[in-house]
Amino acid sequence: MSKKLLTGFAAFCVMGLSSSVWATDFGTADEAKMMLEKAVAAVQADEAKALAAFNKGEGGFKEKDLYVFCGGADGNFTAHGAKAELVGKSLKGLKDKAGKALGEEIYKEAHEGAFVEVTYMWPRPGEEKPSEKVVYAEKVGDQICAVGYYKP
């Protein structure tokens, strides 16, 4: 095998490994959308039971780095699949790491029957440097529920 071919093969293997690590560690846009659809259906069926499941990350509501969070009419978290201790704290007042009024935008844009997309800057789990993240949000009764994913 020539050195050039061997170098190309090695590069291909490294790229393949890095993309497969991404695929197993981080949720995708499609997975986030599917989780939000499932969350909306769960809230419609039994709001209290759904919020409890979101907080515990049970029932498929916490996969990889994806989780559901919701806020009530008062602007406070009613559920957070990654940090249940945020329940009762302000979602509407939440700002991203660049100072964007993330919570206000989610509340302003979310409506019933279809999800909206809000892009913001937030560190990946275990990192300090903010990365681009997209949250899909939808209003369900008096709840606004969302699932976010990091852009690759």
pLDDT digits (tens, 9 = 90+) for 36-65: 999 999 999 999 999 999 999 999 999 999
pLDDT digits (tens, 9 = 90+) for 65-81: 999 999 999 999 999 99
Using an 8 Å Cβ cutoff, are 14 and 132 in contact?
no
CA–CA distance, 77 with 149 (Å, rounded to integer)? 19
Q: What is the structure's pLDDT at 108? A: 97
Burial of 75 (0-12, 13-18, 19+ CB in 10 A): middle
Q: What is the structure's pLDDT at 35? A: 98
Domain regions of the chain by residue span: 27-150
Q: Which position has the token pair 């190309």?
A: 8
Give me 118's structure tokens.
């809000």
CATH code of domain 27-150? 3.30.450.20
Give me 151's structure tokens.
């852009």
Whether pLDDT at 30 is above 60:
yes
Give me 6's structure tokens.
């061997």
pLDDT digits (tens, 9 = 90+) for 85-131: 999 999 999 999 999 999 999 999 999 999 999 999 999 988 999 99
**Whole-structure pTM value:** 0.83
First-to-last C-alpha distance (Å) of the chain? 33
Confidence band of 25 (pLDDT split at 50, 70, 90): confident
Average pLDDT (20-33) is: 78
Confidence band of 24 (pLDDT split at 50, 70, 90): low
Q: What is the structure's pLDDT at 18? A: 41
Burial of 135 (0-12, 13-18, 19+ CB in 10 A): buried
Out of 21-35, 63-77, 100-114, 132-146, pick the least confident. 21-35
Q: What is the structure's pLDDT at 78? A: 98
> Could you give phi then psi for residue 140, rounded to 5 degrees?
-135, 100
Tell me which long-range contacts 133-139 makes (C-beta under 8 A, separation of at least 24).
134/29, 134/32, 135/102, 135/106, 136/32, 136/33, 136/36, 137/36, 137/106, 137/109, 137/110, 138/36, 138/40, 138/110, 138/111, 138/112, 138/113, 138/114, 139/110, 139/111, 139/112
